[in-house]
Chain A
């Protein structure tokens, strides 16, 4: 809540004004039955029409004013909630977008997205409701009690005793209900999971004639959902009738006690009548308070989750150059005995580790040591999880190494300004992102790229034939995640993006796997011809994609187990020969 306060503080005057309006609106609304009581008890018995009309119109006037005040107050609440949530989301998005690799792994993408969406929505509706009903409910409750107390202390005592018991009971039942609903959600998730399994595996299920078995498995989950659901729903349907029951019991007591007091001449009969109305008000107050309470506990959890991202310290700071010694050896890109783990010792027990890296959590690097001269080329090959992508993650500084140094142009990458560093690269990751925008925007990607550069990049990436097949060419739109393109088309777009700005360093991480051999070969020759000056790093599963490069690293479990040209490796590395043999004889 402290976190939210920093956002609300700016609008405290709007909020205060709104609350003031709400307060007066609610108080005036409480006056209406009071006026009615006065009218019936004191004015009517005089049997004069004029004062009766006067008081009657007073009630109507009050009703009009009350509506005006409440509407204005509600609008102000929406206005301040709108402004505050806009800023919360802006800061959260800024923080999320700039998380370091380690931080992203720790939070996890699905969780981050739900903080951005459902958590921010919870906070917003809380900000609004706490101002609209958060004031009203306690005022109705306390005001109702206050007025009844001033009307008749003795009768009001019944309410004063009952209200806390009622509130405690209602909140208790509601709090019991929340975990019950979570259980319902869990078993509903099981149902959805079984359905999804059966929909995706329908061919297997049918091939093995397992329909009956699946139906019984589903039926089991279905029954469990039923029982949990009934339990939760019954629990949550209790507060309403309970409150009504309490109030009606209280009402009876008021009448009984009231009769005695009227008889004793302490109370006017109209008071009993007014009590009826105030009872209703108090009941609404109790239910409203219960709602605010539930919302508060939900919003508090959400605000906490948002705050934990926004308040994360900026990782990967740029270091001053004098703190990091220059590269001990020649080379455009140098890895100097680099060791790295996705699971730093300082943060134990994280889940979803290394999701950012797109590979398993045991992924790490040990004593990686190599250098590439300017304009040279490097190929990396090895099993999934052997640490190929991690090398790129360190080179582009998504993570910092645990030991050793990474140098670009003789300078430790940690001393480079982050944007300047990354602008030197053109990179295609595994499963890289295509955005829901035009082909042009996906390739240009906000950089200064002329149409001519764009055309060249498209041609070099072998993407011209399928793009020109669209009537609107480069202005053709991609759907979300590029779902309207095939795997090979996506890869060609991504390669065009990487090449478009004519980067100093071109990195292709397993990004030609969906291209057929012929296109892959033509792509490589285009790179040689038009990007000969660029330093090239290619990560691949297929030997044919890297066999012509200057230097090849063979990786296994985070280590470089062999290094050299294709010919050298064929002679010296058994693993490399093994890969070559398995891959011979693939058609496709």
Chain B
């Protein structure tokens, strides 16, 4: 279907994303305010700590026999209290921010999922499942990690940086000037290195991605490769790819590993300059020895966050980009709401009428032109045509997964747009070709459509679908857990399960896809039998693959290239010698 990647092409609007992200934090504003206060306190404490330590050392350094122990103890005990309190508060901050950020993540995940439930079916035709899921699993994780670590870093370090700076200046202005030089130096350096390494790391991950793809492809095709004795050439290709990946890794990382030592170098330079200048100042009597040590401690506090700042900014931006992707889903247009005066369809008789219906998935690209059809209660409408011809389009319209562009569809004489969606849909039972089971017990899978279904009802439905004996043979019977890909039951049995589900649901109208592919013969016979039972006394729309169904149909819609090309009974269509005739003849050649 058209309009792929519709959620990808959103204009970038970082400021809006930031505002909406903040809105998520809104409900935690008290906690966040508390965190901010705690950050302030913990910072002040950890700033005050070195100061006290400096005073204590100054007292301790009085020289042999001249130490005033009361003063030392006075400073040291306060310093200890400071540090212990600061650490405890830091732990508290972490705990609070972790729970806030994880709660934001949960809320986002919940919002996205609830949104998905309200989106039209077409959204899922146009967007890859993997892409939607990665927004929930990966992007939301990026956001919450950023909130939990980076926001705390910013909160704590901005105070630390500012406070350290003030303390440093208050201790000695000339020394501060030396220490501050490191700031532009390290920021400029990291920015420069990022620009230099970024393309190499991109190249590295591309090389790894390529290698992983190759490995996945070749190992899945191992049997084929061995069959044609093609191993040596594949290994040669892998050698080349492996070498490229190793080289890309070397080029990126050999540059990357210079960053750490260089940052260390900047810090060591800073220390040397402080020592040098400090000594000179000390000799002039401008500064005490203890002050130099406090200054060293402050300068470390100061340079730590500065070294990180480039990383933090980077992570913030990627979190915002992730948020944009998440909001991209939340901004999708939802299924049209029921009309305010919509009524619930009840006591369904089952007269379905299509009146001059026209429709296209894309505006301006009509694929169904003027389709009219009358299916009184209990009739069988067969839809036939080659694969990919658009047979599901009609079903999409009947179930109101899409609304018609022109004309109308009526059930029991009412335009379906005037009905509530849930009541219309509950009028149909549906068995589709890609049989859908979910991770749960067999009981849950059959009972899915009917709330509070009893075991008797489920067993009755399973018996009607001829799958009861199979279920009883399973070790846990109806309580056996089956998985989404149905690994432990076969395709045919899955199909019988969905038939049982439809049996239990027992609606007045039925939509059915007959296709049974790759099913062994005895299962296929069971399926055919179950489908016939299911169809009895219902208005049926069947995507037909079997002669018996087609020949008995009251109406046949022949679909090709999206549009209904022919319409009529089997006999009429055979007389026309059109598309249907060719389709029918093909199997006897």
Contacts and interface: CB of A to CB of B under 8 A. Distances in A.
Interface in A13-30: 25, 29
Contacts of B215: 93, 113, 116-117
B426 A208 contact: yes
A439 interface: no
A98 B225 CA distance: 10
A195 B587 CA distance: 41
A29 B238 CA distance: 43
B583 to A, nearest CB: 6
A419 B517 CA distance: 35
Q: Which of B133, B223, B264 has the most CB of A within 10 A?
A: B223
A550 interface: no
A74 B57 CA distance: 38
A262 B64 contact: yes
B346 interface: no
A446 B64 contact: no
A586 B515 CA distance: 10
Nearest to B72: A259
B521 A518 contact: no
Given A82-B246, A383-B522, A208 B586 contact: no
Interface string B570-589: 00000000000001101101
A66 B586 contact: no
A113 B216 contact: yes
A245 interface: yes
A269 interface: yes
B341 interface: no
A585 B219 contact: no
Interface in A212-258: 214-215, 218-219, 222-223, 225-226, 229-230, 233-234, 237-238, 241-242, 244-245, 248-249, 251-252, 255-256, 258
Nearest to B87: A245
B373 interface: no
Given A211-B117, A222-B109, A262-B63, A234 B264 contact: no
A104 B208 CA distance: 24
Nearest to A446: B233
Interface stretch (A4-12, A186-194, A317-325, A407-415): A186-194
Nearest to A56: B276
Contacts of B384: 587
B118 A211 contact: yes
Contacts of B505: 208
B114 to A, nearest CB: 6
B268 A109 contact: no
B279 A39 contact: yes
Given A36-B275, A198-B117, A517-B587, A49 B57 contact: no
Contacts of A56: 272-273, 275-276, 279
A244 B375 CA distance: 78
A74 B253 CA distance: 9
Contacts of B233: 446
B293 to A, nearest CB: 4
Interface stretch (A162-170, A368-376, A429-437, A457-465): A429-437
B80 A207 contact: no
B425 A71 contact: no
B99 interface: yes
A273 B293 contact: yes
B95 A234 contact: yes
A63 interface: yes
Interface stretch (A84-92, A335-343, A530-538): A84-92
Contacts of A94: 235
B50 to A, nearest CB: 9
Given A74-B260, A97-B219, A272-B60, A517 B98 contact: no
Interface string A136-173: 00000000000000000000000000000000000000
Contacts of A112: 219
A346 interface: no
A410 B283 CA distance: 102
B339 interface: no
A478 B425 CA distance: 41
A541 interface: yes
A113 B216 CA distance: 6
Contact of A432 (B69, B124, B224, B279): B224
A77 interface: yes
B262 interface: yes
B106 interface: yes
B418 interface: no
B583 A206 contact: no
A57 B208 CA distance: 45
Contacts of A586: 545-547, 587
B258 A214 contact: no
Interface stretch (A299-307, A420-428, A559-567): A420-428
A44 interface: yes
A52 B546 CA distance: 99
A86 B228 CA distance: 27
A132 interface: yes
Contacts of B106: 222-223, 225-226
B117 A214 contact: yes
B269 A209 contact: no
Contacts of A234: 94-95, 98-99
Interface stretch (B313-321, B355-363, B432-440): B432-440
B283 A44 contact: yes
B250 interface: yes
Interface string B224-256: 111111110111001100110111011001100
Nearest to A204: B436
B57 A273 contact: yes
B474 interface: no
A192 B268 contact: no
Nearest to A273: B293
B56 interface: yes
B536 interface: no
Interface string B61-85: 1111111010011001001100110
B465 interface: no
A39 B399 contact: no
Interface in A254-278: 255-256, 258-260, 262-265, 269-270, 272-273, 276-277
B56 A255 contact: yes
B585 to A, nearest CB: 10
Given A43-B279, A113-B215, A233-B98, A263 B65 contact: yes
B30 to A, nearest CB: 18
A32 B272 contact: yes
A262 B222 contact: no
Given A79-B254, A480-B217, A230 B99 contact: yes
Contact of B67 (A85, A208, A259, A541): A259
A206 B219 contact: no
A272 B76 CA distance: 13
21 contacts: A43-B279, A59-B268, A67-B268, A70-B261, A74-B257, A82-B246, A94-B235, A99-B222, A124-B249, A193-B484, A244-B90, A252-B79, A263-B64, A263-B66, A382-B520, A432-B221, A433-B220, A517-B589, A541-B518, A584-B547, A587-B587
Given A517-B586, A585-B547, 17 more contacts: A43-B279, A64-B265, A67-B262, A67-B264, A113-B219, A188-B137, A195-B129, A234-B98, A237-B98, A251-B53, A269-B63, A280-B300, A386-B520, A429-B227, A433-B221, A587-B545, A588-B386
Interface of B: 49, 53, 56-57, 59-67, 69, 72-73, 76, 79-80, 83-84, 87-88, 90-91, 94-95, 98-99, 102-103, 105-106, 109-110, 113-114, 116-118, 121, 124, 129, 132-133, 136-137, 148, 208, 211-213, 215-231, 233-235, 238-239, 242-243, 245-247, 249-250, 253-254, 257-258, 260-262, 264-265, 268-269, 271-273, 275-276, 278-280, 282-283, 289, 292-293, 296-297, 300, 384, 386-387, 399, 401, 421-422, 425-426, 428, 430, 432, 434, 436, 438-439, 448-449, 484, 490, 505, 517-525, 528, 544-548, 550, 583-584, 586-587, 589
**5 closest Cβ contacts across the A-B interface?**
A433-B221, A383-B520, A269-B61, A56-B276, A585-B547
